[in-house]
Amino acid sequence: MNRTQLKRSGILRMALAGSDAADPGGPGGGETFVFRAVKIGAVVTVYWFVSITMVFLNNYLLDNRDLDAPLLITFYQCLVTVALCWLMQLLSRLCPGLIDFPAVRFDLKTSREVLPLSVVFICMITFNNLCLKHVGVAFYTVGRSLSTVFNVLLSYVVLKQTTSLQAVGCCGIILGGFWLGVDQEGLTGTLSWTGVFFGVLASACVSLNAIFTKKVMPAVDGNIWKLSYYNNVNACVLFLPLIVASGDLSRLAAFGRLGHLGFWGVMTLGGVFGFAIGYVTGLQIKFTSPLTHNVSGTAKACAQTVIAVVYNSSSKSALWWTSNMMVLAGSSAYTWVKSREMKKAPHRDTPPDSAKERLLEAEKGDAGV
């Protein structure tokens, strides 16, 4: 009886002091449970704030009727990301104990090796922004919901990897939610088939991006920030002819607020948030887990949709909300199923799961489900 009480009291002390109490020499040793909970809560809150703000900010920039130049806006955000990579590298040298960022020096050979991924990357961020521009924030979750479905399809076609029936069932729920959402959005008279088309293309490119990333990671020593740097440098070069061909450059020249600091401030802020989402996403995964990060991302997407509907004073049917819940539930269930499968077969060469996909999406400022 005494041994049982001692065991129970020991478990209680470990719960109150945190799991690291059992290993004082481990990282975070001495942290109380309450302190760790507050720290995790702060990280999740920052992730939600950065992600939701970034989506609304991008929507504001892309929905600007005075400047219809989505490619130019996307190009500028890539340019800001490159500049911030150089700044973070400089700060890491000046404050090595405070900021950890890899050295990023441009290497032409590495740039060429990353180039195939960069082509997919610019398609992904361009189609994603065009989807957001045409469908708005409220329908964005459903419009961009097929990434998981394409991940399963392309993993089989490209990597010859099969998927369990449970995971396929989760994809079926997502597909059902997508079609229901398109139907309900059509009934309200606000459906943009152009936006849906770009959403489907963006979802396919997200999956291709994850597959190509797996192949080019060795070229950047497996470092996600080096990959982000080379991707955005290549994107800046590749965007230039596209901007000229699309007429975005001429529209910018005719823009009445071209010399206003406020306009460039908002543009730069969009790029800063696009860079920051990559950092806070990695931070949330570090302090929680990929599965918890996916659950947080799902809850964030739900909150984001509610905020958009309330902000626009929209009235949505019960079936419209059901479509959103089906998409979110299917995405969460898929991640849970894949997580269980990976635990059962840790040595199996599985395709990038949705948590890794989200980390890659976050680098360019997607923040979608």
53 domain-assigned: yes
Distance CA 369, CA 331 (A): 8
Give burial (CB, 10 Å; 0-12/13-18/19+) of 353: buried
- Determine the angle formed by the axes of helices 165-188 and 318-344, rounding to 10 degrees: 160
Q: What is the pLDDT, as a whole number, of residue 9? A: 46
- The residues, ordered by sequence, that sit 6+ positions from 232 with a Cβ below 8 Å of its Cβ are 78, 79, 81, 82, 85
Joined tokens for residue 18: 């945190």
Asked whether the beta carbons of 86 and 192 are under 8 A apart, the reply is no
Backbone angles phi, psi at 313, to 5 degrees: 55, 40
Q: What is the pLDDT, as a whole number, of residue 20? A: 44
Distance CA 134, CA 68 (A): 12
Question: Smallest Cα–Cα separation from 99: which of 230, 222, 225, 274?
Answer: 225
Distance CA 227, CA 212 (A): 12
Q: What is the pLDDT, as a whole number, of residue 369? A: 36
Buried/exposed 76-111: b ≥16 CB within 10 Å, e otherwise = bbbbbbbebbeebbeebeeeeeeeebbebeeeeebb
- SS (HEC) of 162-195: CCCHHHHHHHHHHHHHHHHHHHHHHHHCCCCHHH
41 domain-assigned: yes
Query: Which DSSP category does 312 fall into?
Result: T
Q: What is the pLDDT, as a whole number, of residue 282? A: 78
Give the residues of the chain that fall short of pLDDT 70: 1-31, 345-369
Please give the model's pTM, rounded to 2 decimal places: 0.80
Distance CA 52, CA 48 (A): 6
- The residues, ordered by sequence, that sit 6+ positions from 326 with a Cβ below 8 Å of its Cβ are 173, 174, 176, 177, 180
Distance CA 111, CA 88 (A): 20
97 domain-assigned: yes
Joined tokens for residue 124: 């992904």
296 domain-assigned: yes
Q: What is the pLDDT, as a whole number, of residue 357? A: 43
353 domain-assigned: no
Q: What is the pLDDT, as a whole number, of residue 121? A: 92
165 domain-assigned: yes
314 three-state secondary structure: coil
Q: What is the pLDDT, as a whole number, of residue 354? A: 42
Q: What is the pLDDT, as a whole number, of residue 236? A: 94
Distance CA 45, CA 49 (A): 6
Query: Which DSSP category does 160 fall into?
Result: -
State which residues form the domain around 327.
37-253+262-342
Distance CA 276, CA 50 (A): 7
First CA to last CA distance, the chain: 51
Joined tokens for residue 313: 């004073």
Q: What is the pLDDT, as a whole number, of residue 189? A: 85
Question: Smallest Cα–Cα separation from 295: which of 282, 310, 307, 285?
Answer: 285
7 domain-assigned: no
349 domain-assigned: no
> Taking phi first (over 0 means left), then psi (-120 to 50 degrees means alpha), and beta for anything else, what does residue 339 get?
alpha
Q: How many domains does the chain have?
A: 1
Task: Indicate the length of the chain as a whole number.
Answer: 369
Q: What is the pLDDT, as a whole number, of residue 321? A: 94
